[in-house]
Amino acid sequence: MHLKRRVLVAIATAALAVTGITAPQAAAAPHRTIPHDFGNGPERNEVAATDPGAGARRAGPSGDNKVGVRQGYPRKTQLRVYQEDLTDKSIKLGLTPYHALAPRLNALQARSNRISVEVVGQSGLGRDLYMVTLTAPEKSNVTRQQDAWRELIENDPVRAARDHRLDRDYKAPVWVNNNIHGNEWEGTDASLRQIEYLATTKDAKALRLLEHNRVYFNVTANPDGRVAGTRANANGFDMNRDFATSSQPENRAMRDMIIGSQPVVTLDEHGYNDGTLIEPTGPPHGQNYDFDLFIKHGYANGLGMEAAVKGLGYPEAQDVVVPFRDLPPGEWDGWPPIFTAQYAMYHGAVSYTIEIPLQVNNSAYDTLPVEELRRRSAINTDVSEATIKSTLDYLGAHRVELVDNQIEIFRRGAVGEAQHYIPDGFVPGFGPEDRYTTEFPRAYVIPAGTTQRSATAAARLVDHLVTHDVRVRQATRGFALGGKTYPSGSYLVDMHQPKRGLANVMLEAGKDLSEDAPQMYDIAGWSHRLLWGASVDIVRRGDVRVPSRPVVTASPTGGVDAAPGQDLALAVRDGKDASAVNDLLGRGITLSRRADGTVVVPAAARVAAREVADRYGVRFTLAPAGSPGTVLTRPTIAAAVAADELFALRDMGFDVRPVSTAVLNGGFDLSRVDVLIVSSGWRYDQLTPAARASVDALSTRGGVVTRGATGSRFNADAALLSVTAVPGRGDANGIVSVDNADASVLAGALPQSFVYSPQWFTGLGAGVRVEQRYVAGNPLIAGHWLPNSDGSGGPLLAGGQAAVVSGVSARGARVLMFGTEPMFRAHPKGLYAQVAAAIYWGAAG
Ligand SMILES: [Zn+2]
C-alpha cells in the first residue's frame, strides 16, 4: 500500500503539472511519521482520572450575561467579564488568556456593527463559550430570508438548486473552530486578529466578503483546557474524539453551532505538527460521504492554504504535510466521525483539521525559554491566520459553487441517490485506496413495545439522533415493513433524508478495516445501533410511507407495571436502570438484589419508584414471588480508572472516589469502600505495605472489578482469580461479537461489545466462570484488529476465548474482569449495565 501510494503521488505530480496547479512539494513526499497525542491509545490505562493534570479548576465568573435582540445582525451581547487569572497558561506564551476575551469582544462590539457575539453554552467548569459572527449588518427581514434559504437548502434541496435568488443572495457560512485541545492555543489568537480585522477594516474586498458571507468563529472550544494548559476538558475528555457521542457540554455546543450555521466550509485549528499539516486526510475515508463533493473543493482549498502558509516565508512552515497527498493509508485517516472536521462533513461542510507547526505545549512549555516559546507562538499564530485568510479568499472566489455543492450533498441524500463513482485522478492523486462507499438501507426501524429489549435505550438513541439533526418519524399506526410488523409508536429513520450519511454512520455496523491499512490514527469502530442497547432493524427496501409524525423528542418510557401494595422489580439491563437504582439507594431506601441480579424495591417505596421511573425512563415490574435476595445498600466505590470511566460511573449515579497508586500510598482509607475498580494508574506492587494491607483487607469482604492490562496485572499481583490474561494487539479496536450463554453476573448482556487493546483469559482455575466469550473464528464485526508482527494478539486467537470472567478469590473477594471496554469514552451506553451489574454483585455479598 505504501509503495502504491508513492506511485500515485508521482502520477498526481504529473497531473498537477498538466493542469497547471501549483503544488511544489508534491514530488517530495517522504513517508512521514505523525506523532499520536496522549489520550488516543492504550496509554489511557496508565493515567488515572485523579492524577494531576487530568482536569482543570473551577472558574469564577462575575457579572451578568445579557443576551441582545435576536433579530437581524449585529447581535450584541454584553459579555460577563471573568476575574483576571494570572495562572492562565496562555500568558507565558504571550497569547490571550481566557479572561481577556470578554473585554476584548465587548470593546469590538462597541466599535463595529459587523461583529456579533453570542454565548452558546458553558464549559464543564462554567466558562462561557463565545460564538462570534462577522457579517454586514442585516435588517431582521434580511436575516429571516437568510434563515429561510438555509432551511430550504437542507429541507428542500431540489427547490434550493433551482432558486436563482438564493444563488445570488444567500450568505455562505464558514465556521472556524479553535482550541478544542486546550493546550493548542494559537487558533484563538489568530481568529481574534481576523475578527478584529473584519470588524474594523475599510478594505473593499473584506467588506464585499461580509456582504455575501457569514464568518462564524468559536473563539475557544475548550476554555477550561486553555486556562489549565491541558489537551482535555475539565472532565478529562479529548473533545476531538467525542463528536459522535457528544458526551461533553462543549461538544454539544459545537454540534449545535454546526447545525445552526450550516457552514459550507469549516476549519478546526490545532497544533503541533512539524512543518504544518493541512487536510484533506489520507484514506480510509468515511464510507458514508459523497466524497466527490468534498474532495473537489477540499483539495483545492487545502492547496491554497498550503501556499498561503508557505508564502509567509517561515523556514519552520515550508514542509507542509497534506495527508491526502503525502501520507499512506491509516497514517492520518478520515474514517471515524469523532473529529470536528469529519463530523462537520456530515452536515454539508468541506472541512479541515489544521495543525500549526511549532510545539509550545507539554515538555516544550516547561523547558523552553519564554522568548523561544513566544517566538514559536507568534509564528504559529501567523500560520493559523494564513489558513483562515486563505479560506476566506477561497470562499470569496467560490461562494456559489460551495453553496451549490452543499445543496447537492443534501439533494443526493433526500432523493436517495447512490453515491457517485469517483474515477482515478478525479483530483490529482485520487486512486483506488481512496474509494470508500456504502449502500444505504431504505430505512432503519426502532420498534416500540414488547419486541424492544430496552425502551429506555430506544428513547435515548432516538433523542441522540434527533439532536444531531437526523430525521426520525414515529408511527401513529401499526405497520408492516421488510416482512415484519411493528406497533404504533415505533420509530422510523427514512434514509431518504438530507443527512443520510450522518444517520448511517451512527446506525450501520461499519467495516472491518484490518486489510485496508496497517494501522489507523484513532478508533475504527463505533455503532449507536450495536452498542447503545436499542433494538434496531435494517430495512433494505419497501414502501416506507408509514402514517407518522416527526419526532422532536422520544416518547416517555418510564412506568410502574404493578398494582399498589406489591413489591417492584427492576432488571439492570441498561445504565439508566443503574441510575434509577442508585437514585433510590441515595434516598436511603433499602433495596435487595436477587441471585439473578434483579433489584427488588419494597412496595412502600412506590412513590419514589414512580419518580425515578419518570426521571430515567425505566419500567418497574411486579417482583417475582420468593426471596427478595440480599440487602443492597448504596455501594461506596474506589476507582483507579481513566477519566472517561469515572465520567460514565458518575453518569450512572455511583458514589465514586477516584484513586491511584499515589492516592492510596498517601493514606486513602479503603475501610468503608465496598467495591474497588481498577483499570488505570494502579500498581499493586508499588503500594506501600500499609496501602497494600488495606487493599488485601478489602479483598476479604468486598468486590473488585478490573479492566484491561492494568486491571489484569493487579489481578495477578494480588493473586485474586486464577486466570492468565492474554493481550491482543495494543491498537486493536472495534465492535466484537460475543457469546453470553454462560453469563451469570452479566446475564442479559448485548451480543456485541467494544474492545480497545483487547484482552482474553485462559487457564481458568476452579471456580472461575466465563461471563462472556468472543465468538469463535474472527469476532471483529467492525474496526481494526491485526495480529502483532510475531503472530500473537490477533482476532483469530481471541475467537472462542473468555472476554469477561468472574469468580470469588481465595480471600473472598467477588472479582469480575473485563477484557472488553464497556465504558470507552462514554460511547457504548448499552454496555454500561455490565459494569453496574458487576458492582452490585461485588457489593451485595
Ligand atoms: Zn489537536
Which ranges in 537-675 belong to alpha helices (H)? 575-586, 606-616, 643-651, 661-665
Q: Which three cell numbers stand for residue 569?
A: 422489580
**503 Cα: distance to centroid of ligand 1 (angstroms):** 26
Ligand 1 mean position to 269 CA, how many Å? Answer: 8
Q: How far is the CA of 664 from the centre of ligand 1 (A)?
A: 33
CB 735 within 8 A of CB 709: no
CA–centroid distance, 391 to ligand 1, in Å, is 19
C-alpha of residue 36 to centroid of ligand 1, in Å:
10
Q: Tell how far the Cα of 715 is from the centroid of ligand 1, in angstroms.
A: 35
Q: How far apart are CA 833 and CA 652, in angstroms?
A: 9
Give me ligand 1 centre to Cα 230, in Å: 11
Helix, strand or coil for residue 373? helix
Distance 829 CA to ligand 1 centre (A): 26
Q: Could you tell me the distance, in angstroms and rounded to a whole number, from the CA of residue 387 to the centre of ligand 1?
A: 16
837 Cα to the center of ligand 1, angstroms: 36
Query: How close is the Cα of 129 to the center of ligand 1, in Å?
Result: 18
Distance 319 CA to ligand 1 centre (A): 19
- Going from the Cα of 84 to the center of ligand 1, the distance in angstroms, rounded, reads 26
Runs of H (alpha helix) within 447-499 = 455-467
Would you say 593 and 569 are in contact if contact means Cβ atoms under 8 Å apart?
no
Question: Residue 148 is inside which H or E element, if any?
Answer: helix 140-155
Expressed in angstroms and rounded, the spacing between residue 338 Cα and the centre of ligand 1 is 13
What distance in angstroms lies between residue 3's CA and the mean position of ligand 1's atoms? 29
Question: Any bridge partners for residue 638, and if so which?
Answer: 657, 676
CA dist 435 and 430 (Å) reads 8
814 DSSP β-pair partners: 703, 808
Separation of 816 CA from ligand 1 center, angstroms? Answer: 36
d(CA 184, ligand 1 centre) in Å: 6
**Cα 376 from Cα 371, distance rounded (Å):** 9
- Counting every residue written for the chain, the total comes to 845
From the CA of 37, how far away is ligand 1's center (Å)? 8
Expressed in angstroms and rounded, the spacing between residue 357 Cα and the centre of ligand 1 is: 12
Distance 645 CA to ligand 1 centre (A): 22
Residue with cell 483506488: 432
Ligand 1 centroid to Cα of residue 298, in Å, is 20
Cβ pair 118, 133 in contact under 8 A: yes
- Distance from Cα 181 to the centre of ligand 1, integer Å: 5
pLDDT for residue 451: 55
Ligand 1 centroid–CA 328 distance in Å is 20
Q: How many CA atoms lie within 13 A of 108 on its CB side?
A: 26
CA gyration radius, the chain:
27
Taking the centre of ligand 1 as the mean of its atom positions, its distance from the CA of residue 410, in whole angstroms, is 29
What separation in Å is there between the alpha carbon of 379 and the centre of ligand 1? 17
Cα of 233 to ligand 1 centre, how many Å? 12
Taking the centre of ligand 1 as the mean of its atom positions, its distance from the CA of residue 277, in whole angstroms, is 11
> For residue range 14-44, what is the model confidence (pLDDT) as tens digits?
333 333 333 333 333 444 556 555 444 555 5
For residue 2, give the C-alpha cell. Answer: 505504501
Q: pLDDT value at position 263?
A: 98
Centroid of ligand 1 to alpha carbon of 281 (angstroms): 15
CA of 327 to the centre of ligand 1 (A): 18
Centroid of ligand 1 to alpha carbon of 802 (angstroms): 37
Query: What confidence score (pLDDT) does residue 26 get?
Result: 35
Q: Which residues pair with 215 in a beta bridge?
A: 134, 174
Report how far ligand 1's centroid is from the alpha carbon of 843 (Å). Answer: 40
Helix, strand, or coil here: 627? coil
Q: Is 20 left (phi over 0), alpha (psi -120 to 50) or beta?
A: left
Give the C-alpha distances (Å, rounded to integers) separating 296 from 292, 397, 417, 423. 6, 15, 19, 12
- 433 Cα–ligand 1 center, Å: 26
Is residue 699 a contact partner of residue 687, using CB atoms and an 8 Å limit?
Answer: no
CA pair distance 93, 187, nearest whole angstrom? 13
Ligand 1 midpoint to CA 477 (Å): 48
* Adjacent-strand bridge partners of 479: 486
Tell me 82's DSSP state: B
CA distance 294 to 351: 8
Chain Cα centroid distance, residue 557: 26
How far does residue 38's CA lie from ligand 1's centre (Å)? Answer: 10
Q: How far is the CA of 335 from the centre of ligand 1 (A)?
A: 17
DSSP 8-class letter at 731: T
Ligand 1 centre to CA of 180 (Å) is: 7
Of the candidates 10, 773, 25, 834, the one whose C-alpha atom is nearest the C-alpha of residue 425 is 10
C-alpha cell at 510: 461499519
Cβ contact 576:615 at 8 Å: no
Beta-strand (E) ranges in 487-644? 491-494, 537-539, 548-550, 559-561, 568-570, 591-593, 599-601, 619-622, 630-632, 636-640
Measured in angstroms, how far is the CA atom of residue 178 from the centroid of ligand 1?
A: 9
- Ligand 1 centre and the CA of 179: distance in Å? 8
Give the C-alpha separation, 767 to 755, whole Å: 25
Distance 431 CA to ligand 1 centre (A): 28
Compute, in angstroms, the gap from residue 31 CA to the centroid of ligand 1: 21
Cα 390 to ligand 1 centre (Å): 21
- Residue 413 φ/ψ region, left for φ over 0, alpha for ψ in the -120 to 50 degree band, beta for the rest: alpha
Task: Please tell me whether residue 453 adopts helix, strand or coil conformation.
Answer: coil
Please state, as a whole number, how many other Cβ atoms lie within 10 Å of the Cβ of residue 607: 8
C-alpha 289 to ligand 1 mean position (Å): 23
DSSP assignment of 283-319 equals EEEPTTS-HHHHHHHHHHHHHHHHHHHHHT--GGGSS
- The model's pTM is 0.93
> How far apart are alpha carbons 98 and 100 in whole angstroms?
5
Give pLDDT < 70 ranges for the chain.
Answer: 1-45, 50-70, 450-453, 845
Beta-carbon-side half-sphere exposure of residue 312 (alpha carbons within 13 Å): 28
**C-alpha to C-alpha distance for 2 and 30, rounded to whole angstroms:** 11
Cα(278) to centroid of ligand 1, in Å? 12
The pLDDT of residue 449: 73
Place of cell 459579555: 79
Per DSSP, what are the bridge partners of residue 619?
559
Pairing of strands 752-756, 703-707: unpaired
Under 8 Å between Cβ of 355 and 272: yes
Q: How far is the CA of 740 from the centre of ligand 1 (A)?
A: 39
| Residue 240 CA to ligand 1 centre (angstroms) | 7
Q: Are the C-beta atoms of 497 and 413 separated by less than 8 Å?
A: yes
Which is it for strands 537-539 and 473-475: parallel, antiparallel or unpaired? unpaired
For residue 463, the CA-to-ligand 1 centroid distance in Å is 29
User: What separation in Å is there between the alpha carbon of 354 and the centre of ligand 1?
Assistant: 9
Distance 838 CA to ligand 1 centre (A): 36
Question: Ligand 1 center to residue 57 CA distance, Å?
Answer: 21
Do the strands 213-218 and 128-134 form a parallel or antiparallel pair, or are they unpaired? antiparallel
Instruction: Return the C-alpha cell found at 298.
Output: 477540499
For 88, the grid coordinates are: 492562565
Ligand 1 centroid distance, CA of 303 (Å): 21
**pLDDT score of 36:** 54
Phi, psi (degrees; rounded to nearest 5) at 761: -125, 130
Q: What spacing in Å lies between the alpha carbon of 232 and ligand 1's midpoint?
A: 10
Q: Which residues pair with 620 in a beta bridge?
A: 560
Spacing, Cα 356 to ligand 1 middle (Å)? 9
Sign of CA dihedral 738, 743, 745, 749: positive
CA of residue 650 to ligand 1 center, whole Å: 27
CA of 271 from ligand 1 middle (Å) equals 5
Q: Which three cell numbers stand for residue 582?
A: 442508585
**Rounded to whole angstroms, what are the CA distances from 746 to 277, 763, 806?**
45, 21, 10
Residue 407: CA atoms inside 13 Å, Cβ hemisphere, count?
23
**Contact (CB, 8 A) for 719 and 692:** no
How many degrees, rounded to 5, is the angle at CA 310 between CA 305 and CA 315?
145
Grid coordinates representing 674? 465496598
Distance 270 CA to ligand 1 centre (A): 4
How many Å lie between the centroid of ligand 1 and the Cα of residue 339?
A: 10
Give me the pLDDT at residue 454, please: 84
- Compute the distance from residue 323 Cα to the ligand 1 centre, in Å: 15
Q: How far is the CA of 562 from the centre of ligand 1 (A)?
A: 52
Strand 655-658 and strand 636-640: the pairing is parallel
CA atoms of 361 and 511, how far apart (whole Å): 35
User: How much distance in Å is there from the Cα of 358 to the middle of ligand 1?
Assistant: 13
> 443, 492 in Cβ contact below 8 A?
yes
